[in-house]
Every structure is written in structure tokens, then in C-alpha cells.
């Protein structure tokens, strides 16, 4: 692709938009050099990486890359053998390493990580020892710490003591009676690295000193008294030693960092690459882009395509277009009125093809399909070269000539206003010859035109397709949509009529238009009218189909209603039969009741006779004792007593009954044994009546919820809570859908105080 083509199609401007989405200062250069890729493998790899970053951004938000400083110049200085880094440069390195560690931690915590993200995590090395040594040596204000070395600590301690002695000696000097008259002000200053006091010009009448500076008015002399000269000298010596020690510390630290220069370079490249794909991913989100399928064949299918620059200008008012060109079609001829959107459509086709071939997501809907072109060329605008005394037409043809000589096939050729700026008949013939020549070389050609003969060429050639920019014939306003299979017409005279150009001018225009042109326009109008009639008939067929479907649905509803009535009648008949059966059962029961009563009286007599023959032996029995009922031979334990009636309430298994005291015999507590056929459930106890599944995947969360509810039911917990959070609502919806309609759940509702919690009432 030539830079001229990239400029015509606004590809270079698109790169400027992408730069605005970068977060680090060193990624812009990578975007500036972006150009369409040459292989399908490279395109797919870039798309995969954008998709990997998009997954993280959708779940976790945008990457924390904005605080990362640019350390490229620092790494260049580290590469120089005897170079020594400054304190601020070490602070930048420390900030870079800390930010690198933060972004690595951010990516590690991401819910969804594709291979590219895992690879970046492995490539980032926070160099913790380097970061810690920088932090120990240099404080956040950019000064070397006292603890950076033992010698530095001693020097600074001595300096502090000397400076304090010097200040105190000067303060005592200023308090002397003899000095006060010549003292200009009561403060200690620092001049040329030496402590001085402000005195009047006649100070030498009182004591000796060295003048280091004067005030602007020359009324104040900054004097170093003779008494403090030695102290100041000692301070200067220690300050030089301090500087030398600090330089030595910085040299050592630079050498330590130099040992990790390769790792730092790798970290920088990883962060740069991460920011690069993050910018492409965020661009895709901001412009509602989708991933296009890039193929080897020549099929173009882009639904709802939007030009990013039109979207920036018109925002929600952007009208999307469909770009459709199947394998058999090699030439697309776009026609229509001026300012109807022909050039915009041409540039949108070219720009979206370049974006797809660069591995970008494109602003469209669905699943776009775009071929992998060997090259894309665009000829747009007035090519007149005044310096070479070339006309617009000549310059235009020179570019087409050079382009034809360079193409080898499988290119996309975009030409705006082909054959313009010359006589229409010859321009039409020349334009058709140009399209034929490029198609024969294996190129796909998209042109815009006002030439009627070229529109007829679009109908006549099987490899060509006419596309019209939609136009409202009543309001004479463009609709900025593409209509396939038909040619548009300029409507220049109709537009002139619409703005009330005088009738005599319009009539003369029709006379000058010429018979052939008029016939062609009439043919196009007739075709348009026929197309609209076909569309109206299709709409009518669609309406009839929907009407028949509605009637069919009504018949099905009537059928269901009939079946329902038959079912209700059957149910009523069954109820009647059941009622008759109940009556029959009652009759049978009456006949058997008398024999049953006789049997009960006989049993009662036998029981009374047996009880009379059993001696009444009362024992001292209390609540909790285990007893045996003499008459039945069964055992149980006493749970209550009635001393007045001399009866005890005894529990025998699942039966609780009152027994006379005389019939009970106290026995030892039986050994515990598990009855045959009894089912025992061992379940882990639920520590609390709620479970937190925030952060789990949907499948993992549902498994944990089921396990939790099983334990809660076994332990008889009546109500539990499930804490799933709000987030995207996906986990919350999955949990509620999973539990809705479960037989063991009495009720399911949202916690009124926290929308991220679901309360479940168990049966």
C-alpha cells in the first residue's frame, strides 16, 4: 500500500485515533509504524491477542498502565559503560518496576486468561531485589538515604554536629553587646557554602571577618567571622567527602542495575506490547467493533459497516451501510447524486479492508468476511499537477497507467469519479476499458461514477454489480444507504426543479440533455420503478405469509381448546365413577362393622381376664427409667408420670402411650444398637446458614450451592442465604434459574437489603 492510498482512505488518521487510547508514552511509536499485514497467520495472531485483552477488559476493567514512566533513555544510559544514573532516574526505574509488578498481579487475578495474557505474565519480571535496593538507597524525594552506606552515615552525623556548633557559635557572637550595634539583622545565612551573619558596612571596627556577599543596596555585608573559619572549612571538607561517597553509592547502584539491563529491556517490551493491544482492544469497545473473518478468497460481506470518522462526527446519527461483493463479482459500480455518499461509501470499503488486514476489529455487526488482498490502491480526488502543466484528466490517467503497470492480481482497486473531467461518451468507453483490464488481471474494482453508459455496463457484465446510493425522490434528499442491483442517477435537473430554478431553464436543460442520455435516465428510472414494484409484491407476499401463519396458529389454539374440553369431560366422568365406588365401599363397611365389633368385645374380655390374673407389683419408677411392659413384653423409657392416677407415659420406638404402674417393670438401660433397615446419613455440618460463591465460575458455583443445600436439608435448616454478588448479573441469574422450580425449595427471593444475596426457604 502506498502512503498516498493510506492518506486517501484516512488510515493514517485512524492511527492518530489509536494513539489516543495508549496509556504509556512509549507505545505511540509502535502505532505510528502500523501497516497492513501480509499473511493470514499474522492477521489471526494479532486478532487473537486483541481478543485475549478484550476478555480481561470486559471482566476486570481497563489495565492499570497509566502510571508507568518511560525508561527508554535510562536504559540507553545504563548501556554506556562508565555512565552513572542520577537519583531521579533511579526513582523512575523503581516506579517502573513497581508498576510492572502491579500489572502482572492484575493479570494474574483475571478471571479469563488466554495464552497471550499468560505469556505476558511470564515475560514480566518485577526484579524485586533491584526495586528493594533502590528503595533502600534513595528516598521518594530523590535524596540518598543516610543508611545507604556506613561511611555516608558517619559523614552526615559529623556534618550535623559541625553545622550545629557553627550556628551556636554565631548565635553567641550575635548576642554580644559589642556586636549588636553593627548587626543588620538577627539571622544566620549561607553564602558560597559557608555560614555568615548580616552586618553593617562598618563591622570591621568591632571584629575581623571575611565578606562573602553584599545585599543589593550594599547596606548589608554577609560576613564570616574569624572565629568560625575553621568550622566552615571542616564543614566544606565533609561536604566534599559526602558528595564523593554519594557518587560512589550511585556508581555501585548503577552497576547493580546494569546487571539486570536485559530483564528491564524485556519488561519494557512486554509492557509496550500489552499497551499496544490494550489500545486496539479499547478502540474496538469504544467504536462497537467486531472481529472480522479474513480469508484467502474474494468474498466481501460486511453488514452494518460504519466509517470511524463519520461515527466521530455524527455519533448516533451515523447511518451504517452493507458492503456485499460475492466471489463471482469483480467490479462494483457505485452511482447516485452529488453529496449522496458515493465517496464516503468508497472510502469506508477501503478503510475497513485495510483495518481487517491490519488485524484490527472493525465497526460493523455480526460476523464480517473480508478477503486478504495482496494490495489496496485508491485514487480519490483531483490529481491536477499545475507544476507539470497537466490537466486533471491527464494526471488522473497517468496514475491509472502507473497503477496498471504495478498490479499483479488479487488487489483491490478503488477509483473515485472514474473517467471524470472529460467528454462523457469517451469517458464511459475509457472507464469500461479500465475496469475490464484490471478485472482480467485478477483485481477487484470499486468505482464511483455519474456516467450513464457505465451504469449500463454494470447491468450488462455478469462480473459487475450496480450499487446506488439511496435517494428520496420526494424530498430530493440523500438517504446515505447502498441499494444493490440497481444504478443511481444524478437527479441534477430534478434537484434544480426542487429548489425552484425557473421553468425555462429546466426545459432548456432537458433539450440539451440529448435523446440518448434522456433514454438512459428513463431506463434507469423504469428499472427503479420495476424494482420498487417487485419489493412491494414481496412485502405483500410476506404479509400474506404472516396472515396464513396467524390463521394456522388460531387453528392450533382451537384444537388445543377442543382437546382441553374433552379432557375436562373425561375428568368429570372419572370423578363420578370414584364417587360411586366410595358408596360401594361404605355399603361393604356397614356389613363388616358388626363382625368387627364382636371381635373387639372378645379381645377386651380376654385382656380383662389376663390382667386380673396378673399380680400387681408396683416398683419405684421415675422419669428417664427404662421399663418393660409385662403384658406386651416390649421395652421403652418413661418420659412423664401422673402420681395421682398411678400411670406413666412410656415411649416405645415411635409410639407414646400411658401405662398403669402395676404393669411396668424397671430394667437396666439397654445397649445402643442400630436397628436393621435404619438409614443413617452422615453429613458435614453447615457452619453458617449462608454460602459465598463470589469469584467462582458458574459451573463451580452451582456445584457448591447444590452441596451446601444437601447438607442444610439433612440438618433441618429452614432458611439459607446464597451470596453471589451483582457484577454482570450472569452468576446471579444462573443461580436463580438453577434453583427455580426445585421440589425441595419452598420459596426463593432477593434480599431486600442486599441485591447480591438470594434467600431460600427450604421445605
* 40-60 helix and 261-286 helix, angle to the nearest 10 degrees: 80
For 698-719, what is the mean pLDDT?
A: 81
Q: List, in order, residues 6 or more apart from 681 with CB less than 8 Å away.
A: 714
Which residues, 6+ apart, have CB-to-CB distance to 333 below 8 Å?
Answer: 447, 449, 454, 455, 457, 458, 464, 465, 466, 467, 487
pLDDT at residue 72 above 60? yes
444/500 same-domain check: yes
Do the domain assignments include residue 119?
yes
* Region of poorest pLDDT, from 136-145, 222-231, 354-363, 494-503: 494-503
Question: What are the binding residues?
Answer: 336-343
Q: Is 318 in the same domain as 448?
A: yes
545 within a domain of the structure (yes/no): no
Please indicate, yes or no, whether residues 301 and 406 belong to a single structural domain of this protein.
Answer: yes
34: closest CA among 371, 410, 373, 354? 354
pLDDT beyond 70 at 572: yes
Shared domain for 250 and 267, answered yes or no, is no
Residue 416 lies in a domain: yes
Phi, psi of 194 (to 5 degrees): -130, 145
**Residue bearing the bigger pLDDT, 447 or 651:** 447
Q: What is the mean pLDDT of the chain?
A: 83
List the single range of 99-103, 135-139, 619-623 with lowest mean pLDDT: 619-623
pLDDT given at position 389: 43
Q: Report the binding-site residues for ATP.
A: 336-343
Are β-strands 293-295 and 365-371 bridged in parallel, bridged antiparallel, or unpaired? parallel
Nearest CA to 535 out of 472, 490, 485 is that of 485
How many domains is the chain built from?
A: 5
Span 362-379, mean pLDDT? 93
Beta strand 209-214 pairing with 221-225: antiparallel
pLDDT at 595: 55
Per-residue pLDDT reduced to its tens digit, 666-686:
888 776 544 444 444 454 555
397 and 490 housed in the same domain: yes
Which of 52-56, 488-492, 589-593, 677-681 has the weakest average pLDDT? 677-681
Of 279 and 640, the one with more pLDDT: 279
pLDDT value, residue 382: 54
Q: Is residue 341 part of a domain?
A: yes
Looking at the chain, the whole-number percentage of residues with pLDDT higher than 90 is 38
Range of the domain at 166: 147-254
Asked whether residue 238 is domain-assigned, the answer is yes
Mean pLDDT lowest for which of 269-273, 471-475, 513-517?
513-517
Q: What is the mean pLDDT of residues 19-24?
A: 92
Mean pLDDT of 245-261: 94
Nearest 10 degrees: CA dihedral of 567, 573, 577, 583? 130
Domain presence at residue 297: yes
Q: Give yes or no for residue 146 having a pLDDT over 60.
A: yes
Residues 229, 193: Cα–Cα separation, whole Å: 12
Residue 269 shares a structural domain with residue 308: no
| Assigned domain for 372 exists | yes
19 and 162 part of one domain: no
Q: What is the pLDDT of residues 184-197, one digit of tens each?
A: 888 889 988 899 98
Q: Are residues 654 and 507 in the same domain?
A: no
Q: What is the pLDDT of residue 624?
A: 80
Q: Report if residue 79 sits inside a domain.
A: yes
- Identify the CATH number of the domain in which residue 102 sits: 1.10.1420.10
Query: What is the chain's Cα-based Rg?
Result: 48
Q: In terms of DSSP bridges, do strands 719-723 and 690-692 run parallel, antiparallel, or are they unpaired?
A: parallel
Q: Which of 703, 705, 743 is nearest to 721 (CA)?
A: 705
So what's the pLDDT on residue 569? Answer: 79
Q: How many CB atoms lie within 10 A of CB 405?
A: 7
pLDDT higher than 90, residue 296: no
pLDDT given at position 384: 46
Q: Determine the pLDDT at residue 292.
A: 95
Residues 220, 313 within the same domain = no
CATH number at residue 737: 3.30.1370.110
**Greatest Cα-to-Cα distance within the chain, rounded to the nearest angstrom:** 149
Amino acid at each position: 500500500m502506498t502512503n498516498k492510498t493510506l492518506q486517501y482512505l484516512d488510515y493514517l488518521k485512524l492511527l492518530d485515533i489509536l494513539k489516543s487510547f495508549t496509556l504509556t508514552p512509549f507505545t505511540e511509536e509502535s502505532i505510528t509504524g502500523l501497516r497492513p499485514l501480509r499473511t493470514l497467520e499474522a492477521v489471526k495472531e494479532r486478532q487473537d491477542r486483541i481478543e485475549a485483552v478484550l476478555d480481561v477488559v470486559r471482566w476486570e476493567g481497563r489495565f492499570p498502565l497509566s502510571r508507568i514512566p518511560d525508561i527508554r533513555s535510562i536504559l540507553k544510559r545504563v548501556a554506556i559503560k562508565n555512565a552513572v544514573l542520577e537519583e531521579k532516574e533511579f526513582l523512575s526505574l523503581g516506579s517502573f518496576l513497581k508498576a510492572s509488578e502491579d500489572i502482572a498481579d492484575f493479570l494474574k487475578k483475571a478471571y479469563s486468561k488466554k495464552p497471550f495474557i499468560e505469556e505476558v505474565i511470564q515475560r514480566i519480571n518485577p526484579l524485586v531485589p533491584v526495586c528493594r535496593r533502590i528503595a533502600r538507597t534513595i528516598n521518594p524525594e530523590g535524596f540518598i538515604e543516610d543508611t545507604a552506606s556506613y561511611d555516608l552515615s558517619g559523614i552526615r552525623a559529623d556534618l550535623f554536629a559541625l553545622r550545629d556548633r557553627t550556628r551556636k557559635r554565631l548565635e553567641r557572637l550575635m548576642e554580644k553587646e559589642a556586636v549588636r550595634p553593627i548587626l543588620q539583622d538577627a539571622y544566620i545565612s549561607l553564602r558560597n557554602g559557608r555560614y555568615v551573619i548580616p552586618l553593617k558596612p562598618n563591622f570591621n571596627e568591632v571584629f575581623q571577618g571575611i565578606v562573602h556577599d553584599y545585599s543589593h543596596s550594599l547596606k548589608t555585608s554577609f560576613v564570616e567571622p574569624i572565629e568560625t573559619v575553621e568550622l566552615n572549612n571542616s564543614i566544606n571538607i565533609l561536604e566534599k567527602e559526602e558528595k564523593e561517597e554519594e557518587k560512589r553509592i550511585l556508581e555501585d547502584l548503577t552497576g547493580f542495575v546494569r546487571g539486570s539491563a536485559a530483564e528491564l529491556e524485556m519488561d519494557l517490551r512486554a509492557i509496550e506490547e500489552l499497551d499496544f493491544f490494550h489500545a486496539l482492544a479499547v478502540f474496538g469497545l469504544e467504536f462497537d467493533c467486531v472481529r472480522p473473518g479474513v480469508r484467502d478468497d474474494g468474498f466481501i460481506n460486511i453488514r452494518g459497516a460504519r466509517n470511524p470518522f463519520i461515527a466521530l462526527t455524527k455519533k448516533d446519527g451515523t447511518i451504517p451501510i452493507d458492503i456485499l461483493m460475492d466471489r463471482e463479482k469483480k467490479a462494483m459500480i457505485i452511482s447516485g447524486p452529488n453529496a449522496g455518499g458515493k465517496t464516503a461509501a468508497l472510502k469506508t470499503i477501503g478503510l475497513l479492508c485495510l483495518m481487517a488486514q491490519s488485524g484490527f476489529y472493525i465497526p460493523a455487526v455480526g460476523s464480517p468476511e473480508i478477503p486478504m488482498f495482496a494490495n489496496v490502491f485508491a485514487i480519490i480526488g483531483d490529481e491536477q499537477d499545475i507544476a507539470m502543466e497537466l490537466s486533471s484528466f491527464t494526471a488522473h490517467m497517468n496514475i491509472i497507467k502507473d497503477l496498471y503497470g504495478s498490479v499483479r492480481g488479487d488487489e483491490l482497486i478503488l477509483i473515485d469519479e472514474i473517467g471524470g473531467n472529460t467528454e462523457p461518451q469517451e469517458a464511459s468507453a475509457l472507464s469500461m476499458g479500465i475496469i475490464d483490464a484490471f478485472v482480467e488481471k485478477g483485481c477487484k474494482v470499486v468505482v464511483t461514477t455519474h456516467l450513464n453508459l457505465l451504469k449500463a455496463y454494470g447491468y450488462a457484465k455478469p462480473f459487475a454489480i450496480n450499487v446506488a446510493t439511496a435517494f428520496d425522490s420526494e424530498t430530493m434528499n440523500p438517504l446515505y444507504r447502498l441499494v444493490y442491483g440497481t444504478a443511481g442517477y444524478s437527479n441534477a435537473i430534478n434537484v434544480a426543479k426542487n429548489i425552484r430554478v425557473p421553468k425555462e431553464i429546466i426545459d432548456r436543460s432537458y433539450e440539451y440533455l440529448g435523446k440518448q442520455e434522456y433514454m438512459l435516465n428513463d431506463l434507469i428510472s423504469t428499472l427503479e420503478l420495476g424494482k420498487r414494484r417487485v419489493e412491494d409484491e414481496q412485502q405483500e407476499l410476506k404479509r400474506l405469509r404472516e396472515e396464513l401463519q396467524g390463521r394456522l396458529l388460531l387453528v392450533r389454539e382451537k384444537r388445543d381448546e377442543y382437546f382441553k374440553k374433552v379432557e375436562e369431560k373425561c375428568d368429570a366422568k372419572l370423578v363420578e365413577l370414584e364417587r360411586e365406588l366410595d358408596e360401594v365401599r361404605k355399603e361393604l363397611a356397614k356389613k363388616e362393622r358388626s363382625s368387627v365389633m364382636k371381635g373387639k368385645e372378645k379381645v377386651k374380655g380376654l385382656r380383662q381376664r389376663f390382667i386380673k390374673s396378673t399380680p400387681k407389683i408396683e416398683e419405684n419408677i421415675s422419669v428417664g427409667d427404662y421399663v418393660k411392659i409385662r403384658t406386651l413384653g416390649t421395652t421403652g423409657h418413661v418420659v412423664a408420670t401422673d402420681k395421682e392416677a398411678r400411670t406413666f407415659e412410656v415411649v416405645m420406638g415411635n409410639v407414646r402411650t400411658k401405662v398403669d404402674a402395676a404393669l411396668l417393670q424397671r430394667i437396666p438401660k439397654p445397649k445402643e444398637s442400630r436397628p436393621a433397615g435404619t438409614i443413617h446419613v452422615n453429613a458435614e455440618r453447615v457452619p453458617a446458614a449462608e454460602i459465598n460463591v463470589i469469584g467462582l465460575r458458574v459451573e463451580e458455583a452451582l456445584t457448591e450451592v447444590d452441596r451446601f443445600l444437601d447438607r442444610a436439608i439433612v440438618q433441618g435448616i429452614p432458611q439459607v442465604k446464597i451470596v453471589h454478588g451483582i457484577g454482570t448479573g450472569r452468576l446471579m441469574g444462573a443461580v436463580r434459574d438453577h434453583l427455580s422450580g426445585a421440589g425441595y425449595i419452598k420459596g426463593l427471593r432477593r434480599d431486600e437489603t442486599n441485591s447480591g444475596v438470594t434467600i431460600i426457604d427450604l421445605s
